[in-house]
């Protein structure tokens, strides 16, 4: 088999067009990786500057009431993952800045897509575009005639009469093209790793990316070679594999994606906000309005401190009320956001199942996940930002309640020393080892397809059928 592979490579390197295209791919991939990393670095530096500016403003706040500072709030900036330059995933459309303030959970805003020029709104050029679409298509054009050419020239009969098993021949030709695709992939990953951090986390993610893309390339080349062996001529083989490729990359993702959204629909933005507002004012169960909750809280603290009026309390009841309202709002948010999170998880799981019919869906899901740019990583950022918002607002409300002011004293202020003592927002992307369970279906589907095409070649390529 090794001799056949080497012979195939000798034939390829004698083709000047192949050499020129290889040089073109290597240069294109190198350029795209370099541009992506530079763009990623520039964006991250801009966000770091913005984050430092926001923090400087917070540290130098004038003396003010803590509740006023809660409305002033802060901002959380979603950092770029180191591999965002390879596969942007959903980052270009989800936004990267969220305002953190009291009484309300804001939506994330300022997406890269909304800020880009109209000419670039079709999508930024990432290496994933070349690796997912262009290179597989080129591998198809290399593989579709690998066996059918031999049949048309009658050379296949000579090879078989020399004692070469048909199955071995098909596998050898498929592997020779797969190795080529794998070489382009490894070159891309090598350039990527040389230009970014040598963090072990990045290495683990790149290893998983190599496995995912390598598996997909094996599926594509093996299937193309299989069609080449099974069908009568080049035209039939090319038509079959191109039809499969178009079905995988264009039609099935759209059809299945729409079906998933119909089966597990998310509430509209307006419905989500309306439900949040209603339950916050009327109570989650509809029988516990805010006025009633305030009265119960008042009686609780009057009894606890054994006083007859709020003015006699040694603390500021206004701060207590605001924090209680925050915590109740947090319960409402957790209920509705948790429901949306569950729906998104169901959508993702159902979409991943499509990998049994479409390995390209598994490749895309794995690529975004291992690059840290999918919905799972985005939701993690939203959760961490909300957790910080709660810590921030509680610190301000507690200062208002227990810092020395009395109920009704809204003129009471604190200086910048206190504001500087409140820790700023810091976010680290989750480790892939902790997230790998989200992508097991994708990995298993790619393995399933790899075994399937191997089995198809093994049992359906024999001398009688081919000749």
pLDDT digits (tens, 9 = 90+) for 23-76: 999 999 999 999 888 888 888 898 889 999 999 999 998 899 988 888 888 888
DSSP string, 163-205: T--HHHHHHHHHHHHHHHHHHHHHHHHHHHHHHS---HHHHHH
Cβ neighbours for 77, distance < 8 A, ≥ 6 positions apart: 47, 48, 50, 51, 54, 96, 97
Beta pairing class for 74-77 and 97-101: antiparallel
pLDDT classification of 84: cutoffs 50, 70, 90 = confident
Residue with tokens 């909304």: 114
Residue 121: its pLDDT value, please?
Answer: 37
Q: What percent of the chain has pLDDT over 90?
A: 43
Percentage above 70 pLDDT, the chain: 92
pLDDT in tens, 384-399: 999 999 999 999 999 9
What are the structural domain ranges in the chain? 1-467
Average pLDDT rounded to a whole number, residues 422-444: 92
Q: What is the pLDDT of residue 71?
A: 85
Q: Is the pLDDT of residue 404 over 70?
A: yes
> In the structure encoding, which two tokens stand for residue 252, read together?
């099935």
Give the three-state DSSP class for 54.
Answer: helix
Q: What's the whole-number mean pLDDT along residues 10-28? A: 87
Among 52, 48, 104, CA closest to 73? 104
Instruction: Give the three-state DSSP class for 64.
Output: strand
Residue 126 binned pLDDT confidence (cut-offs 50, 70, 90): confident
Task: Report which listed range, 112-126, 302-316, 360-374, 421-435, is most confident.
Answer: 360-374
> How high is the pLDDT of residue 94?
79
| Phi, psi dihedrals of residue 117, rounded to the nearest 5° | -70, 155
User: Which stretches of 231-358 are DSSP H helices?
Assistant: 234-246, 252-263, 269-282, 290-305, 317-353
pLDDT of 120 reads 36
Interval 221-237: pLDDT, tens = 999 999 988 888 888 99
pTM of the model: 0.89
- For residue 117, the model assigns a pLDDT of 36
Angle at 115 between CA 390 and CA 44, to 5 degrees: 60
Average confidence (pLDDT) over 152-176: 78
Token pair in block for residue 13: 């390197």
Distance separating alpha carbons of residues 365 and 351, to the nearest angstrom:
9
**pLDDT of 172 above 80:** yes
Residue 282 pLDDT > 80: no
What pLDDT does residue 462 have? 66
Q: How confident is the model at residue 284 (pLDDT cuts 50, 70, 90)?
A: low
Q: How far apart are CA 109 and CA 100, in angstroms?
A: 12
172 vs 8, more confident: 172
**Tell me, what's the pLDDT at 362?**
96
Q: What stretch of H or E contains 77?
A: strand 74-77
| Contact in structure between 336 and 276 (CB atoms under 8 Å) | yes
What burial class does residue 42 get, using C-beta atoms within 10 Å of its C-beta: 0-12 exposed, 13-18 middle, 19+ buried? exposed
Taking 60 as the threshold, does the pLDDT of residue 254 lie above it? yes
Average pLDDT over residues 198-215: 92
446 has pLDDT over 90: yes
Specify the range with the lowest mean pLDDT, choosing from 46-50, 221-225, 273-277, 324-328: 273-277
């Amino acid at each position: 088999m090794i001799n056949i592979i080497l012979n195939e490579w000798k034939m390829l390197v004698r083709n000047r067009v192949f050499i020129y295209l290889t040089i073109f791919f290597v240069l294109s991939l190198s350029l795209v990786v370099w541009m992506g990393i530079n763009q990623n670095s520039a964006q991250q530096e801009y966000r770091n500057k913005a984050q430092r500016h926001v923090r400087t403003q917070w540290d130098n706040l004038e003396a003010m009431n803590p509740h006023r500072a809660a409305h002033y709030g802060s901002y959380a900036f979603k950092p770029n993952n180191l591999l965002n330059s390879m596969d942007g995933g959903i980052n270009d459309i989800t936004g990267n800045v969220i305002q953190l303030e009291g009484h309300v959970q804001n939506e994330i805003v300022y997406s890269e897509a909304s800020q880009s020029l109209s000419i670039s709104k079709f999508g930024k050029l990432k290496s994933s575009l070349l690796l997912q679409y262009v290179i597989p298509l080129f591998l198809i054009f290399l593989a579709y005639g690998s066996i059918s050419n031999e049949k048309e020239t009658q050379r296949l009969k000579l090879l078989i009469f020399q004692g070469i098993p048909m199955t071995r021949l098909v596998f050898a030709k498929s592997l020779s093209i797969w190795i080529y695709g794998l070489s382009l992939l490894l070159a891309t990953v090598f350039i990527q790793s040389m230009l970014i951090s040598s963090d072990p986390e990045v290495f683990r993610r790149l290893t998983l990316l190599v496995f995912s893309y390598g598996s997909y390339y094996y599926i594509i080349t093996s299937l193309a070679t299989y069609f080449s062996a099974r069908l009568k001529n080049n035209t039939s083989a090319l038509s079959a594999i191109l039809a499969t490729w178009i079905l995988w990359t264009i039609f099935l993702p759209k059809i299945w994606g729409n079906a998933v959204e119909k089966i597990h629909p998310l509430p509209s933005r307006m419905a989500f906000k309306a439900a949040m507002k209603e339950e916050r004012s009327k109570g989650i169960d509809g029988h516990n309005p805010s006025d009633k909750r305030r009265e119960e809280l008042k009686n609780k603290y009057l009894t606890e401190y054994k006083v007859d009026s709020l003015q006699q309390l040694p603390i500021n009841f206004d701060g207590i009320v605001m924090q209680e309202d925050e915590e109740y709002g947090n319960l409402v948010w957790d209920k509705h956001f948790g429901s949306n999170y569950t729906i998104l998880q169901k959508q993702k799981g159902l979409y991943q199942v499509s990998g049994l019919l479409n390995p390209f869906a598994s490749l895309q899901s794995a690529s975004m996940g291992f690059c840290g740019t999918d919905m799972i990583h985005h939701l993690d950022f939203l959760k961490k930002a909300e957790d910080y918002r709660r810590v921030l607002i509680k610190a301000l409300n507690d200062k208002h309640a227990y810092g020395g002011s009395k109920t009704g004293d809204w003129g009471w202020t604190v200086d910048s020393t206190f504001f500087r003592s409140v820790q700023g927002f810091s976010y680290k992307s989750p480790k892939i080892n902790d997230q790998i369970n989200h992508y097991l279906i994708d990995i298993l589907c790619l393995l399933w397809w790899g075994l399937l095409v191997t089995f198809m070649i093994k049992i359906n390529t024999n001398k009688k059928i081919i000749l």
